[in-house]
Amino acid sequence: MKMNFKNFPMVSKVVFGRGSFTQLVEIISPKRQSDSAPFIFLVDAVFENNTSLISKIPLLYKDQIIFISSKEEPKTLQVDRLVEDIILSSSVLPSGIIGIGGGTLLDLAKAVALMLTNNGLSHEYQGWDLIKNKGIYHVGIPTISGTGAEVSRTTILTGPTMKLGINSDFTPFDQVILDPELTQGVSKEQWFYTGMDCYIHCIESLEGKFINSFSKIYGETALKLCKEVFLDTLSPEESQDKLMMASWHGGMSIAYSQVGVAHALSYGLSFLLGTKHGIGNCIVFDHLFEFYPEGVKLFKQMKAKHNISLPKGICANLTDKQFDIMIDVSLSLEPLWENALGKDWKSKITRSRLKDLYSKM
């Protein structure tokens, strides 16, 4: 029998430590190809007036900072436009792309780095292993913890027909800088939503059919850290450090397993309504007691402890056609359903059951 174990790439280099962001210059300098090959920094627009952060970004020669709003999740069109702008503004390929922000900016940095060396448009590469050429050197610097985008082998984009990742061996970052101090300014709500993405990754991975020792160890470690961060009382520093490590481990856990029902449903919400990943997962997960009883019970405790009230009725006025769009997106994510419910998942989940679930949200 042919063995089919995934042989998957990892982030090549990682720095961890409070204040490690100040090492950015020495880390990237050796990677400069020439004076005319710039480093392009894609930075969340929330930092535009944050002089303490911006002053630590070393701009030399033709280096550029591009501020990008993370109000909306990354789109294939947005990636294509960024790539075109970068190509037009420089006679040679950049030396590197550095993403500074949350999952949105990290995914944009990965996608831009890949599309600078692969022909055509980014939506043509949504899926698995379609990327042919190695991307430009790319660095990820998270400023909010939870998504695991800093370790993953995907960059999730909303395209003309799908919200789907560009999954490839060339997607992971060449370098990640984990500096928990950068997560200081995050609002309580956003901290909770993005942190819960990590918690939900753990539950979906640990409760899934694809679970194995590799994913289990990472998932259990991340879950333990999430419980400490969201249920115990930690100092801000300890909480920032632990959530950053939880995010990393949660990402490693799903790298070798898969997410499940919450992600399958939340992709539908995101595609139709533009609901962002963190909050979307929370809205969905709140209704998934039948699938993840223990996980949902604890989620509700965390929500109560931090006084989080989730939006209600976001699907109240949708038409049947709109429900169908969400259900189509959700059901197309077959590996997620298979992980959650097993090979015969199609006999366990029906369109009307999904419609019932969405109607409650």
Q: How would you label 216-253 residue by residue, b for 16+ Cβ within 10 Å and e otherwise?
A: eebbebbbebbbbbbeeeeeeeebbbbbbbbbbbbbbb
Q: Which residue among 20, 118, 154, 168 contacts ligand NAD (CB under 6 A)?
A: 154
Does 149 bind ligand NAD (CB under 6 A)? Our answer is yes
Tokens of 232: 């115990």
Contact mark string toward ligand NAD, 321..360, x via CB under 6 A: ----------------------------------------
Question: Closest CB to ligand NAD among 63 and 197?
Answer: 197
Shortest distance (Å) from residue 106 CB to ligand NAD: 7
Which is it for the CA torsion 76, 256, 333, 315, positive or negative? negative
CA distance 178 to 21: 8
Stretch of 1-9, 72-80, 195-203, 344-352 contacting Zn ion, by CB under 5 A = 195-203
Does 275 bind ligand NAD (CB under 6 A)? Our answer is no
Does 152 bind ligand NAD (CB under 6 A)? Our answer is yes
Tokens of 107: 């995914």
Shortest distance (Å) from residue 106 CB to Zn ion: 12
The answer to whether 315 touches 358, Cβ cutoff 8 Å, is yes
Shortest distance (Å) from residue 50 CB to ligand NAD: 8
Please identify the residue of the shown chain whose CB is closest to the bound Zn ion: 197
Does 185 bind ligand NAD (CB under 6 A)? Our answer is yes
CB atoms within 10 A of CB 93: 14
Q: Residue 194 touches which of ligand NAD, Zn ion, none (CB < 5 to 8 A by kind)?
A: ligand NAD
Q: Per-residue DSSP letters for 66-126?
A: EEE--SS--BHHHHHHHHHHHHHH-SS--SEEEEEESHHHHHHHHHHHHHTSS-S-GGGG-
CB atoms within 10 A of CB 299: 22
Question: Closest CB to ligand NAD among 45 and 318?
Answer: 45
Q: Residue 103 touches which of ligand NAD, Zn ion, none (CB < 5 to 8 A by kind)?
A: ligand NAD
Does 156 bind ligand NAD (CB under 6 A)? Our answer is yes
Q: Per-residue DSSP letters for 24-71?
A: HHHHHGGG---TTS-EEEEEEGGGTT-HHHHTTS---TT-EEEEE--S
Stretch of 27-35, 276-284, 318-326, 339-347 contacting ligand NAD, by CB under 6 A = 276-284
Shortest distance (Å) from residue 195 CB to ligand NAD: 9
Q: Which residue among 99, 103, 208, 295 contacts ligand NAD (CB under 6 A)?
A: 103
Q: Which residue among 43, 82, 94, 107 contacts ligand NAD (CB under 6 A)?
A: 107
The answer to whether 171 touches 151, Cβ cutoff 8 Å, is no
Does 197 bind Zn ion (CB under 5 A)? Our answer is yes
Question: HEC states along 237-250?
Answer: HHHHHHHHHHHHHH
Rg (C-alpha) for the chain, rounded Å, is 20
Comparing CA positions, the residue from 123, 206, 187, 190 lying closest to residue 158 is: 123
Residues that bind ligand NAD (CB under 6 A): 44, 46, 70, 73-74, 101-105, 107, 143-144, 146-149, 152, 154-156, 182-183, 185-186, 190, 194, 197, 276-278
Residues that bind Zn ion (CB under 5 A): 197
